[in-house]
Amino acid sequence: MDSSLLFNIATLLYLAAMVLYISYLAFKKNGIGQVASIVTYAGFAIQTFALLTRWRESYQMDIGRIPLSNLYESLVFFTWSTVLLYIIIEFKYKTRAFGAFVLPVAFLALAFINVAGISNDITPLVPALKSNWLFYHVLISFFGYAAFGVAFAVSMIYLLLDTDERGPVVNIVAGIVALLVLASVGYVMAGNGLKTAFWLGLGVLVLAWFIFLIVSGAKHKAQIYLFWSFCVTLAIGMLVALGIDFLYLKAFQHIEAGESLKKHLFEATFVNPSTPVVFISWAAVVGLLFLIWFQGMRLKTFLKQYVPPLNQLDEVTYRMIAVGFPLLTGGIITGAVWANSAWGTYWGWDPKETWSLITWFVYAIYLHARYVRGWKGSQMAVISAVGFLAVIFTYLGVNLVLSGLHSYGGMN
Amino acid sequence: MENKKGFVDIFSERVWKFFSSVKLAVVLLIILAIVSVIGTVIAQNEAPEKYLQEYSQAFVNLFEVLGFFDMYHTWWFVLLLFLLTANLTVCTLDRLPPTLKIITAPLKPIEDESLKALPFKREIIIKAGRGKAEELSVKTLTRHRYRFITTGGPDETQLVTQKGVYSRLGYIITHVSILLVFIGALLGAFFGFKAFLNLPEGRASKVVYLRNEPMWDKIMDTLGVAKSPVIPAADGGLPAMPIGYYVVCDSFDVDYYINAAGIPTGMPSEYHSTLSVYDLQERKILDKRIRVNDPLSYHGITFYQSSFGAIPEGKGKIKLNVRRKNSPAAQTEPVVLDPGQAVYVPSIDRTFKALSFNPYGIRNPATGQVQFFQTENNEFINPTVELEVSRGKGSKPLYKTFIMKTEAGEPSFPEDYTIEFVEYWGARYTGLQVTKDPGVWVVYTGFIMLCVGPVIAFFGSHKKLWVRIQDRKGQTVVTVAGSANRNRIGFEREFNKIADELAK
């Protein structure tokens, strides 16, 4: 059996598990929950086997490398470690409530990769990537990312449950107007060669908002709810846009094996050559944001029956970050050791390194706020969310948006 | 007498207080996180023309003044790092005495007053009497792997115990590890250097060309204490640093991945150079074949495979190996010749003439036809020599053949010998990244501690437990109380288990 067939079976099992977990939430039948768990374990076992098979296949092709070195393989590994972590949590906290949130992520990620089916060729490694440190670096980093991913999901649930009411409609309208104004300012500035200035300014504004939420969020629940809506929109919007991308690329574009998908990201939506498509995409995002903001309270009433109490959610978030932080540290360190063995520089302020350090700073702030200041609750959930935004940027944004050592393909 | 503090005392106290605040740490982390972003958005250390393509002149000037083009080495960014380090040091020193006090504090029996403050406590009445209660308590604590001390008098007995007290050192290990990384980085900047060396095949060098001069040498030279060993470049190039020995490039080559049809794809699988080290008296000390990820280190200086290139107007020599079929490998005869040159090969009594050299030849597996391709960047993807073979010392040509690297002497030759391509030598240089970093082991020590510290800090827990057995109005009352500084939920579970076992 070849690995792609096994990956497909695992994907289908995760789909079944996702449906089962959601029906478990809806019907509250323990039997369904047990079946959901068993299906998840089976999917996980098969995915593990598939990863090992792929590893063996690479040896049969005389390339012989760990299945962890391109976007395809790292996404597969990301879902694998997320499911592994979820299984551990299910065992430890004896609750299946999170399954309905984690399994969809695992399934969607795997489905997108499978639908894409484009760059799953086992391509040989460039010489610099031939190092055992690469294996440890990627392995440890991805476990860390998965832990932070779970922390993010739980924080999102926390923030929603902690909101009493969504607040006046003027909030979301102001938020959307701000988005539109910023977008047009950005458009005008980019046209005048002020692109960098715009992005720096936008970054400052966003950071100022984050800091405001963290420092005085407790008094401004409506703002936190708005933040929640943005985060959820971002997560869903990105997943859906990626899905459309893959479908579009598969249907209309020919992509050569081994060619990076990075160049084509969001080509079907936000960076499409046709202006109407771009316009519709952004309108859809704004619509989604409004919908999520408007319907959030319904989701809350629904969720409230199934999830553990708030203080336990807070504890799970902390636990996940306490697990993720040493892993992130280990990921940065193994990356540094690897760089030192390849180039004689353990730290070069390359964008990817810098962003992983920024992420590290954010979670260091989280841990100090908790240990030294004793902070708990919604502020911490906000920091955890900001941390995960930094993780996403480190993982995808740097590869896709910024250039760096990590995205190079040869020497010189 | 009035105890008046002097200005210096007050000032130093204020400075200490300022640097010992966690708020400062958080503020510094936020500032560092924010400004670090700038250097990832603006490409660092690019050529000035590139910046002018991207930004207007006014912005280039502004960014230049702010140091945004080499942001992580500007004085203000380094100052921020220093502030964070000072903050980290003071914070750690400030909290060290209380932590040590907790660690070294002797276990004391608990009083009613302090009992109130403990988060976990339970009273159990045991009917079997005090002796039995004591026995049960000892057994239970031992079963849970607590080593305890026993105190008490006529009215009460107490078993006092703790676990994981050294986990309180976790944050100190973490902080010290970060300090070590910082100190190691400083050591590297002061006493180390980064340099490069483009070394043609067959050439030697006793200097490398500096990108960063060791700061220490520079300072000592400026102060007039010691002359810097660095040799300034006469023609505006990079200054040279003597390394105290010769490094020689014996050969450089690139291997390429070969596809299923046996044809090299042009995708490099490995770059490697064979380097030798000779002392200044020209005695050979060692040699090593270096690859990417596997450098050569000698006397604290490390040579990394980093790039390669063609020597301008450099002519290479073709190196071949000739061997009679079925003869041992030791009877191989090396043949060296220039393109266009003819050479007599005594062991087989033939003359070879190299008609041409091509960097990328592919033999069609079906027809046997050989085709040549262009390569970029002076790559020799499948070097191929067209060889004319004549009998004896060069009479009439017998036949022509192609000798390819990938075929390694494999294809059948019309006569009783094989010809193997070895290399095309002397036309290229190997690009070496050269570094000296005496701080790297300090950094690595920091790394190891940084892997351990947070784990101890987050998952270790200092747990304290008291079991007090009292006779009260003819009843034996056992009071269990405890506290934990981490993972309260886990400790609560353990505590309840112990209490339940005592209540049985």
Q: B174: helix, coil or strand?
A: helix
Mean pLDDT of chain A: 81
Q: Quick one: pLDDT at residue A408? A: 32
Do A127 and B25 make contact, defined as CB atoms within 8 angstroms?
no
Report the candidate in B32, B169, B7, B167 with the shortest Cα–Cα distance to residue B87.
B32
Report the candidate in B303, B34, B452, B40 with the shortest Cα–Cα distance to residue A333.
B452
Q: CA of A227, closest CA in chain B: separation in Å? A: 19
Token code pair at residue A79:
């879902």
Chain A, 230-269: which have a CB under 8 Å from a chain B CB?
A: none
Chain A, 174-193: which have a CB under 8 Å from a chain B CB?
A: 193
Chain A, 24-83: which have a CB under 8 Å from a chain B CB?
A: 63
Question: What's the pLDDT tens digit per position in A34-56?
Answer: 999 999 999 999 999 988 888 88
Q: Which residue of B has its CA nearest to A361?
A: B29
Cβ-based neighbour number of residue A326 at 10 Å? 23
Report the candidate in A143, A80, A62, A210 with the shortest Cα–Cα distance to residue B269.
A62
Q: Among A111-115, B256-260, B444-448, B467-471, which stretch is predicted with the lowest mean pLDDT?
A: A111-115
Confidence at A118, pLDDT banded by 50, 70, 90: very low
Report the candidate in B210, B465, B54 with the shortest Cα–Cα distance to residue A199.
B54
Q: Quick one: pLDDT at residue B101? A: 93
Name the residue among A315, A358, A403 with its Cβ closest to that of B37.
A358
Mean pLDDT of chain B: 87
Q: Is A355 on the interface with B (CB under 8 A)?
A: yes
Do A63 and B257 make contact, defined as CB atoms within 8 angstroms?
yes
Q: A380: helix, coil or strand?
A: helix
In this predicted structure, the answer to whether residue B422 has a pLDDT above a threshold of 70 is yes
Name the residue among A63, A329, A403 with its Cβ closest to that of B43.
A403
In this predicted structure, the answer to whether residue B440 has a pLDDT above a threshold of 70 is yes
Name the residue among A203, A364, A365 with its Cβ closest to that of B37.
A203
Do B39 and A193 make contact, defined as CB atoms within 8 angstroms?
no
Question: What's the pLDDT tens digit per position in B269-314?
Answer: 889 999 999 999 999 999 999 998 889 999 999 999 988 888 877 7
Q: Quick one: pLDDT at residue B463? A: 92
User: What average pLDDT does range B111-129 have in this prediction?
Assistant: 86
In this predicted structure, the answer to whether residue A120 has a pLDDT above a threshold of 60 is no
Rounded Cα distance between A97 and A38, Å, is: 15
Name the residue among B41, B185, B292 with its Cβ closest to that of A199.
B41
Q: Considering only CB atoms, which chain A residues are within 8 Å of B489?
A: 315
Q: Which range, A3-7, A268-272, A359-363, B106-110, is most confident?
A: A359-363
Q: Is A271 on the interface with B (CB under 8 A)?
A: no
Token code pair at residue B286:
């060692």
Confidence at A405, pLDDT banded by 50, 70, 90: very low
User: What average pLDDT does range B38-54 have in this prediction?
Assistant: 81
Name the residue among B36, B38, B292 with its Cβ closest to that of A200.
B38
User: What average pLDDT does range A325-339 have in this prediction?
Assistant: 94
Question: What is the DSSP code string of A141-205?
Answer: HHHHHHHHHHHHHHHHHHHHHT-S----HHHHHHHHHHHHHHHHHHHHHHHTT-HHHHHHHHHHH
Do B194 and A345 make contact, defined as CB atoms within 8 angstroms?
yes
Do A361 and B55 make contact, defined as CB atoms within 8 angstroms?
no
Question: What's the pLDDT tens digit per position in B102-119?
Answer: 999 888 888 888 888 888
A95 by Cβ neighbours in 10 Å (0-12 / 13-18 / 19+) ranks as: middle
Q: Which range, A363-377, A388-402, B5-19, B240-254, is most confident?
A: B240-254
Q: Considering only CB atoms, which chain B residues are within 8 Å of A340?
A: 440
Q: Considering only CB atoms, which chain A residues are within 8 Å of B437?
A: 344
Question: What's the pLDDT tens digit per position in A291-311?
Answer: 999 888 988 888 887 788 888
Q: Quick one: pLDDT at residue B186? A: 93
Cβ-based neighbour number of residue B283 at 10 Å? 10
Report the candidate in A297, A157, A293 with the shortest Cα–Cα distance to residue A223.
A293
Q: B145: helix, coil or strand?
A: coil
Per-residue CA distances from B434 to A72, B22, B121 (Å): 35, 40, 64
Do A412 and B307 make contact, defined as CB atoms within 8 angstroms?
yes
Token code pair at residue B239:
């200054």
Name the residue among B293, B444, B455 with its Cβ closest to that of A342.
B293
Rounded Cα distance between A388 and A151, Å, is: 8
Question: What's the pLDDT tens digit per position in B331-389?
Answer: 888 899 888 888 888 888 888 888 888 888 888 877 778 888 888 777 888 888 888 88
Q: CA of A129, closest CA in chain B: separation in Å? A: 8
Do A402 and B40 make contact, defined as CB atoms within 8 angstroms?
yes
Do A200 and B33 make contact, defined as CB atoms within 8 angstroms?
no
Do A325 and B454 make contact, defined as CB atoms within 8 angstroms?
yes
Q: Considering only CB atoms, which chain B residues are within 8 Å of A412?
A: 307, 377
Do B271 and A411 make contact, defined as CB atoms within 8 angstroms?
yes
Q: Which of A131, A333, A355 to mutate to test the interface with B (most CBs of B within 10 A)?
A: A333
For chains A and B, count residue pairs whose Cβ atoms are closer than 8 Å.
Answer: 125
Q: Quick one: pLDDT at residue A122? A: 52
Q: Considering only CB atoms, which chain A residues are within 8 Å of B267?
A: 124, 126
In this predicted structure, the answer to whether residue A26 has a pLDDT above a threshold of 50 is yes
User: What average pLDDT does range A81-97 have in this prediction?
Assistant: 85
DSSP secondary-structure letter at A29?
A: -
Q: Is A128 on the interface with B (CB under 8 A)?
A: yes
Q: CA of B141, closest CA in chain A: separation in Å? A: 25
Token code pair at residue B474:
């003819």
Is the dihedral angle over the CA atoms B6, B8, B11, B15 positive or is it negative? negative
Q: Quick one: pLDDT at residue B60? A: 86
Q: Is A357 on the interface with B (CB under 8 A)?
A: yes
Q: B38: helix, coil or strand?
A: helix
CB B208 within 8 A of CB B241: yes
In this predicted structure, the answer to whether residue A222 has a pLDDT above a threshold of 90 is no
Q: Which of B24, B40, B450 to mutate to test the interface with A (most CBs of A within 10 A)?
A: B40
Report the candidate in B265, B360, B292 with the shortest Cα–Cα distance to residue A61.
B265
Do B270 and A127 make contact, defined as CB atoms within 8 angstroms?
yes
The C-alpha angle A269, A272, A278, rounded to 5 degrees, equals: 60
Upper half-sphere CA count for residue B305 (Cβ side, 13 Å): 23
Look at chain A and count its residues: 412
According to the 3-state scheme, what is the secondary structure of A195-206? HHHHHHHHHHHH
Question: What's the pLDDT tens digit per position in B148-196?
Answer: 888 877 778 889 999 989 999 999 999 999 999 999 999 999 999 999 9
Rounded Cα distance between A24 and A32, Å, is: 5
Interacting residues of B121 by C-beta distance below 8 A, sequence separation 6+ = B115, B479, B480, B481, B482
User: What average pLDDT does range A96-111 have in this prediction?
Assistant: 78
Do B455 and A410 make contact, defined as CB atoms within 8 angstroms?
no
Interacting residues of A193 by C-beta distance below 8 A, sequence separation 6+ = B54, B55, B56
User: What average pLDDT does range A171-199 have in this prediction?
Assistant: 81
Q: Which residue of A has its CA nearest to B377?
A: A412
Q: Quick one: pLDDT at residue B41? A: 81
